[in-house]
Amino acid sequence: MWKTVVRRVLIMIPQLFILSLLIFIMAKNMPGDPFTGKITPETDPARIEELRELNGLNDPWYQQYVRWMGNAFKGEFGNSYTYKVKVSTLIGERAMNTFWLSLLTAVMLYAIAVPLGVLAGRFHNSWFDRGVVLYSFISFAIPTFVLALILLYFFGYQLSLFPTTGSVDVREAPGTAGYYMSKVYHMILPAFTAAVLGTTGIIQYLRTEVVDAKSMDYVRTARAKGVPARKVYSKHIFRNSLLPVAAFIGFTITGLLGGSIFIETIFAYPGMGHLFIQSISSRDYSVITALVMLYGFLALLGSLLSDIIMSIVDPRIRIE
């Protein structure tokens, strides 16, 4: 198994190289540059050209790419043209906010999806099952920004139950219990929104697996031996039905880390997704290329984690 993991990691190296090349070329083909937005009728064109020359933006693209990759191997992605700090520092500050939001989202997602999927499969064709299926269809059909705006309007503005922006109350002193409670409080509404939208696939997989498992030979044998229904579901059906869900854990975690752009933007939550949108608006290429590269790495890592988790959960399955 470990030989295969090492081989998969080695395969990721050329994949990341190709990804970095595509990202850099596409970023360079975007209209304008970081200094375009600073041009006003009073701006001296010679000064703008001087800034472009100082930052190496007039060099051939391949020279810029080699310079960018050389710095990337050192963990440096240059400086942000907008925030005037190192890109690695800027992303590091936002990454923790996105990590905690993604973690809370994952907890809510599985807390909602697993019970609904299992119970819908157990009580197949019942009113409860039909209600869960209807819920799945609705959550699948609603766009992210629509549900986020609805929840933000009712629970944030109308009822004032949750904050509508930020990640923590500025009046709380860092390190105190109130500070951490405030951070959790600010994450509840965006995390719940993302969790509701992400439950559809898990519910449908679990429901289908439970329905199929009820007709398996090992389940019929357990029932014929007089095993109580509760134990049949908990020790046989439920355990085996979790296998496809376990396969998606890696994708779920990395997907939440890289796929929170809309949620963070709508709730003005200062994470990597919010930073990504701001960087596009300001043409901050250093931040854009670093974030897209990070998202690509997370996607590859998610695939690897899913294979590893699946092989651990089911010893019959080994990565080949």
What confidence tier does 319 reach under pLDDT thresholds 50, 70, 90? Answer: very low
User: What pLDDT score was predicted for residue 127?
Assistant: 92
The model's pTM: 0.78
Q: CA dihedral defined by 218, 219, 220, 225, rounded to 10 degrees?
A: 90
pLDDT at position 131 over 90? yes
The amino acid present at 26, given as its one-letter code, is M
The amino acid present at 7, given as its one-letter code, is R
The Cα diameter of the chain in Å comes to 88
Task: Compute the average pLDDT of residues 118-128.
Answer: 87
Residue whose C-alpha is closest to residue 244's, from 132, 136, 141, 113: 113
One DSSP character per residue, 47-67 reads: HHHHHHHHTTTTS-HHHHHHH
Structure tokens, 280: 């596009």
CA distance 183 to 178: 9
Distances (CA, A) of 187 to 245, 273, 306: 25, 14, 26
CA distance 290 to 67: 14
Task: Compute the average pLDDT of residues 69-79.
Answer: 79
pLDDT tens digits, one per residue of 204-221 = 888 888 888 777 777 777
Residue 287 near residue 279 (C-beta atoms within 8 A): yes
Residue 132 near residue 282 (C-beta atoms within 8 A): no
Task: Compute the average pLDDT of residues 214-239.
Answer: 75
Could you list the beta-strand ranges (E) of 74-133.
none
pLDDT at position 37 over 60? no
Structure tokens, 73: 């191997």
Distances (CA, A) of 247 to 67, 95, 297, 307: 38, 25, 18, 7
Count of Cβ atoms closer than 10 Å to residue 212 Cβ: 14
pLDDT at position 320 over 60? no
User: What pLDDT score was predicted for residue 167?
Assistant: 85
pLDDT at position 226 over 70? yes
pLDDT tens digits, one per residue of 152-183 = 999 988 888 888 888 888 788 888 888 889 99
DSSP character for 319? -
Q: Which of 72-76, 134-138, 309-313 has the highest mean pLDDT?
A: 134-138
Residue indicated by tokens 């590859």: 300
Apex CA 59: angle with CA 57 and CA 65, to 5°? 85
